[in-house]
Amino acid sequence: MPCTTILVGKHASNNHATMIARTDDGHFDEKKLIVVEPKDQKKVYTSVIGHLTVELPDNPMRYTACPSVDSKNGVWAATGVNAANVGMTATETITSNPRVLSADPLVTYQKAKTKKEKDIPGGIGEEDIVVLVLPYIRTAREGVLRLAALLEQYGTYESNGIAFNDENEIWWMETIGGHHWMAKRVPDDVAVIMPNQFGMDSFDFDDAFGKQKAHLCSKDLREFIETYHLDCNQNGAFNPRLVFGSHSDQDHVYNTPRAWYMGRYLAPSQYRWDGPNADFTPESDDIPWSFVPDRKIAVEEVKELLSSNYKGTPYDPYLNHDTGVRGKYRSIGINRTGVTSVIEIRPDAPDCCKGLEWICFGSTTFDALLPVYPNVKKMPKYLSDVTLDASTENFYWGSRLIGALADHSYNQCVQIVTRYQNAVMTEGRKLVLAYDKKIAETGDASLCAEANEKLAAMAKEQTDKALTAVLRESSVTMKNGYNRADN
């Protein structure tokens, strides 16, 4: 899916938490937040797209997931946190090139052409990866290793980037062709930006084939590169993006502008981002994969970035005047986002509430980010009981309705939306602070569920209030708004 990912190392965040965040930009895919208990995790998994059957281990942990409400195309669990306080988001669709894909083709499902032949299963993909990996890992590194084994055994039918985090580490993994992969531990002091392209711009093979402190990859990756003449680097440097990625005209409209805006936001003093002498433009292919940010990053900054439509630049599609380039580039916050998550693993919280999962349904530009505790047996109905028909009784549809109405009356509704987003964030933080304290004092993990019910009730109250106000303002700007004084 065409998504955007941000990763924040523990020394780059304001509270020393690791954070992995991603917009899941599907095709208006209805999403819900649920808890999957070990008894509900299947022992044998069969994918819808790949028609692949995989036997699973006998020891799954409880985990959260944001699956599709309509399962006709598969689970698409998207993101979650497990009982060991390991987070995962999968996947960021990334780019590749014909050199790589011809040398190690994607593993696609092949339906039998005659009755005598058998169907040939495809590999694993975004539909499957969270379900196959998250219930079985106790560290971020273990996530890479489990997924690597699955890729090498079954292959994949698409090019993807996957993030894992625990209390101490973040690992970023990118697939290469059908069966190859590489992964890198995100340095603690940086933030990583990923806009639907192969991202990593450096890699230490000596570490990957030595101590493996911060780099992992397929055992034959060096030989693979050499055999198929994939290395396009000069002067002895190795940039994986130049080997495995792309830099097409489509990238320059759809992908690189998002990296430019995020880098401009995170490191405004380190490079020139604007003007004729800019170090990087929206169409630069060499924007760094990671930055040491100018200031510490909180969840609010992550949400701001993932909501962006190039505010403060001539590319903002909501500008009142035509700049000649208004709306030229694909925004980060778009209409068809199903769910956005920020997974925060906090070192100073009790184990039972160390993980915090921030959830936003619908377009991030208009909708609010709500924190919940993932270490519970079930989620509040407002988050989990999502219907295929529009309803104000769940957070998903309430959010979608606000976005659809406010977009058409942006100038009239932007202040309502801003107040709504700030209210949910503020009241959400208040509740989390209060319950963190109660849980630390009592050791009572059941308080996490109590907190979630209060968080959901607050979100419903604020969402209904915002929806009412947005509906009123949008009604005023309807094209058939005539009265007798118009004559």
Q: Is residue 375 domain-resident?
A: no
Cβ–Cβ < 8 Å for 53, 45: yes
b/e burial code for range 163-174 (CB count within 10 A of at least 16 → b)? bbbbbebbbbbb
Show Cβ contacts of residue 428 under 8 Å, excluding neighbours closer than 6 positions. 369, 370, 371, 455, 458, 459
Position 118, amino acid: K
Burial profile 61-84: b = 16 or more Cβ within 10 angstroms, e = fewer = bbbbbbbbbeeeebbbbbbbbbbb
Following DSSP, what letter does each residue of 161-175 receive, concatenated? EEEEE-SS-EEEEEE
- Structural domains counted in the chain: 2
Q: What is the structure's pLDDT at 290? A: 98
Cis peptide before 91 (omega within 30 of 0): yes
Q: Residue 352: left if φ>0, alpha if ψ -120 to 50, beta else—which one?
A: alpha
User: Domain for residue 327, yes or no?
Assistant: yes
Tokens of 321: 């005047």
| 356, containing H or E segment | strand 355-361
Please state whether the predicted TM-score (pTM) of the whole model is above 0.85: yes
The answer as to whether 333 is a domain residue is yes
Count, residues in the chain:
487
Task: Round to whole Å and give the CA distance between 347 and 16.
Answer: 7
User: What tokens were used for 214?
Assistant: 């911060």
- Residue at 14 is within a domain: yes
Segments of the chain scoring below 70 in pLDDT: 1, 485-487
In a domain? residue 376: no
Query: What six digits make up the tokens of 102?
Result: 């011809």
Same domain? 403 vs 358:
no
Contact 362/400 with Cβ under 8 angstroms?
yes
Catalytic residue ranges: 3
Written as six digits, the tokens of 377 are 């047996």
- Domain check: are 340 and 205 in the same one? yes
Looking at the structure, do residues 360 and 409 belong to the same domain, yes or no? no
Maximum Cα interatomic distance, the chain, rounded to a whole number of Å: 81
Indicate whether 330 and 459 sit together in one domain: no
Same domain for 467 and 404: yes
Tell whether 236 and 335 lie within a shared domain.
yes
What pLDDT, on a 0 to 100 scale, did the predictor assign at position 136? 98
Other beta carbons within 10 Å of 457: 13
The CATH number of whichever domain residue 164 belongs to comes to 3.60.60
Is there a single domain that holds both residue 221 and residue 260? Answer: yes
Give pLDDT, residue 470. Answer: 98
- Statement to judge: residues 350 and 395 lie in one domain: no
State which of 333, 365, 397 marks the end of a domain. Answer: 365
Predicted local distance difference test score (pLDDT) of residue 320: 92
372 falls within a domain: no
pLDDT at 416: 98
Q: Does 314 lie in the same domain as 388?
A: no
The three-class DSSP label of residue 351 is helix
- Residue 27 belongs to some domain of the structure: yes
> Which of 311, 339, 365 delimits the end of a domain?
365
- Report how far residue 343's alpha carbon sits from residue 136's, in angstroms, rounded to the nearest whole number: 18
Q: At residue 214, what are phi and psi to the nearest 5 degrees? A: -140, 5
Residues 266 and 403 in one domain: no
Q: What is the pLDDT of residue 247?
A: 86
Q: pLDDT tens digits for 187-222?
A: 999 999 999 999 999 999 999 999 999 999 999 999
CA 309 → CA 25, 46, 315, 334, distances in Å?
15, 38, 8, 8
Domain boundary among 310, 339, 365: 365
Instruction: Give the Cα separation of 394 and 66 in Å (integer).
Output: 14
Looking at the fold, whether 289 and 418 belong to one and the same domain comes out as: no
Q: 396 and 325 share a domain?
A: no
Task: Count Cβ atoms below 10 Å from residue 229 Cβ, excluding itself.
Answer: 9
Q: Which domain holds residue 190?
A: 4-365
How confident is the model at residue 236, as a pLDDT?
Answer: 83
Q: Is 300 within the bounds of a domain?
A: yes
Q: Which residues contact 45 (CB under 8 A, 6 or more apart)?
A: 53, 54, 55, 56, 128, 131, 132
